[in-house]
Amino acid sequence: MLYLDANATRPMEPGAAEALCRALSELPGNPHSPHQLGRKAAAAVEDARERVAALVGRPARQVRFTSGATEANAWALQGLRRAAVERGGGPARVLCSAVEHPSVLCQADERLPVDARGVIELDAVEQALDRPGVAVLSVMAANNETGVLQPLPELARLCRERGIPFHCDASQLPGRLDCADLPADLLTLSAHKLGGPKGCGALIGARLPPPLLCGGPQERGDRAGTVAVPLVHSFGVATTLCRPLEDELQRQLEAAAKELGATVLGEGAPRLPNTSALLFDQPGDLIVMALDLEGVCASTGAACASGAAEESHVLRAMGLRGLPVRLSWQRETPVLEVLPVLEAVLERLRSA
């Protein structure tokens, strides 16, 4: 198998997988129990908190663990909307880019346009922020489908000048690029996107919104529910294994793909070095199925939309049509091995 779907989920780092298995047997206690096994579990959680915080260059006191990025995004956006309503007494709007993950889009009242590369239009952002009743702006660090990076410093500045909170889903950044200085008030991370376990994430910020889940004192009173200690411990270990990637393989892959007739989505914009979204003259879902039969795991875009057989909202926002093939990888993946397989698949489909 050649695994080229790392943006959907990365295979676990061996060190993180080992830590998870070890924690399942060695950390049975509830971290809120007063006995020694409870204290041992609590120490593991706090160690993970320190490690996750170090990844993004924040103090550990800002980190709260969640069940994943979807919960963290819901907490950030619903919480900030509720806080704004309580302060102002009127409607409070959530703004986002038109290319956000569905877990953000479903919370938003207004989707701001992007250009043909998939980069948010700053003039539109500025105009939207100047309208009354804005509770928060949410823009992802890197698009999960195209890998396009958004202008976070400029967005943070526009929000800061108006006193509006800025939330950033940074789930795709760790393990691809450095993420130690992201200028957002609230950050979302997902463990399984960076080589950790599924079912764990984090919301990070100096001033967290009101809790989404209540009923217990866990996570310093901000998120009720027993902490999933093995997942959190493994998450922390995985963050220490993140290293930025180079883009040489991406350049080689895309040069060869263009020789096969591909259009590279987001070309010309800053992008993640591990992501190539390619649009061919053949439907992307057929290409992905044919690649799968040859032992290559790829996708047409976001995993949450798999099987929908409809065009991506990201492509529509960029003014494009069709189903692309998204290839995304992690360190030490022999990416270029896909090229002869892709060429053979395209030849078969075109001749058919």
3-state secondary structure (DSSP) of residue 66: strand
User: What does the alpha-carbon distance between residue 49 and residue 174 come to, in Å, rounded to a whole number?
Assistant: 16
- Are 55 and 114 members of one domain? yes
Determine contact, residues 73/88, Cβ cutoff 8 Å.
Answer: no
- Are 210 and 322 members of one domain? no
Of 280, 285, 275, the C-alpha closest to 253 is 275
- Are 183 and 214 members of one domain? yes
Strand partners, 203: 64, 188
pLDDT at residue 304, as a whole number:
55
User: What does the alpha-carbon distance between residue 174 and residue 67 come to, in Å, rounded to a whole number?
Assistant: 18
- Are 125 and 160 members of one domain? yes
Residue 126 maps to which CATH number?
3.40.640.10
Task: Specify the DSSP class assigned to residue 110.
Answer: E
User: What does the alpha-carbon distance between residue 22 and residue 11 come to, in Å, rounded to a whole number?
Assistant: 18
- Are 214 and 346 members of one domain? no
* Strand boundaries in the chain, DSSP class E: 2-3, 63-66, 93-97, 110-112, 134-138, 166-169, 186-190, 201-205, 263-264, 275-279, 296-297, 325-328
> pLDDT of the chain along its 352 residues, tens only?
999 999 999 999 999 999 999 999 999 999 999 999 999 999 999 999 999 999 999 999 999 999 999 999 999 999 999 999 988 877 899 999 999 999 999 999 999 999 999 999 999 999 999 999 999 999 999 999 999 999 999 999 999 999 999 999 999 999 999 999 999 999 999 999 999 999 999 999 999 999 999 999 999 999 999 999 999 999 999 999 999 999 999 999 999 999 999 999 999 999 999 999 999 999 999 999 999 999 999 999 766 544 455 788 999 999 999 999 999 999 999 999 999 999 999 999 999 8
Please write the tens of the pLDDT for every residue from 88-115: 877 899 999 999 999 999 999 999 999 9
Contacts of 254 (CB under 8 A, 6+ apart): 262, 264, 267, 276, 278
- Are 222 and 250 members of one domain? no
pLDDT at residue 91, as a whole number:
83
Determine contact, residues 195/330, Cβ cutoff 8 Å.
Answer: yes
Two tokens, residue 180: 């130690």
pLDDT at residue 303, as a whole number:
60
Marked catalytic residue, from 21, 106, 214, 304: 304
Determine contact, residues 202/223, Cβ cutoff 8 Å.
Answer: no
- Are 199 and 325 members of one domain? no
Query: Which residue matches tokens 């591909």?
Result: 262
* Strand boundaries in 148-223, DSSP class E: 166-169, 186-190, 201-205
- Are 107 and 90 members of one domain? yes
Domain boundary among 216, 239, 262: 239
Sign of CA dihedral 49, 54, 56, 62: positive
Domain count for the chain: 2
Please give the C-alpha separations between residue 166 and each of 39, 48, 71, 145, 178, in angstroms, as whole numbers.
Answer: 36, 25, 17, 22, 20
- Are 133 and 228 members of one domain? yes
Pairing of strands 166-169, 134-138: parallel
Residue 280 maps to which CATH number?
3.90.1150.10
Domain boundary among 239, 262, 291: 239
User: What does the alpha-carbon distance between residue 192 and residue 13 come to, in Å, rounded to a whole number?
Assistant: 10
- Are 273 and 152 members of one domain? no
Ramachandran angles phi, psi of 73, nearest 5°: -65, -45
Strand partners, 93: 134
Look at the pTM and tell me if it is higher than 0.85.
yes
User: What does the alpha-carbon distance between residue 157 and residue 37 come to, in Å, rounded to a whole number?
Assistant: 46
Range of the domain at 180: 14-239
Written as one letter, the residue type at 37 is L
- Let me know if 214 is a catalytic residue: no
- Are 160 and 221 members of one domain? yes
Please give the C-alpha separations between residue 338 and each of 240, 263, 283, in angstroms, as whole numbers.
Answer: 29, 17, 18
Domain boundary among 239, 266, 285: 239
- Are 212 and 337 members of one domain? no
Two tokens, residue 142: 């890197």
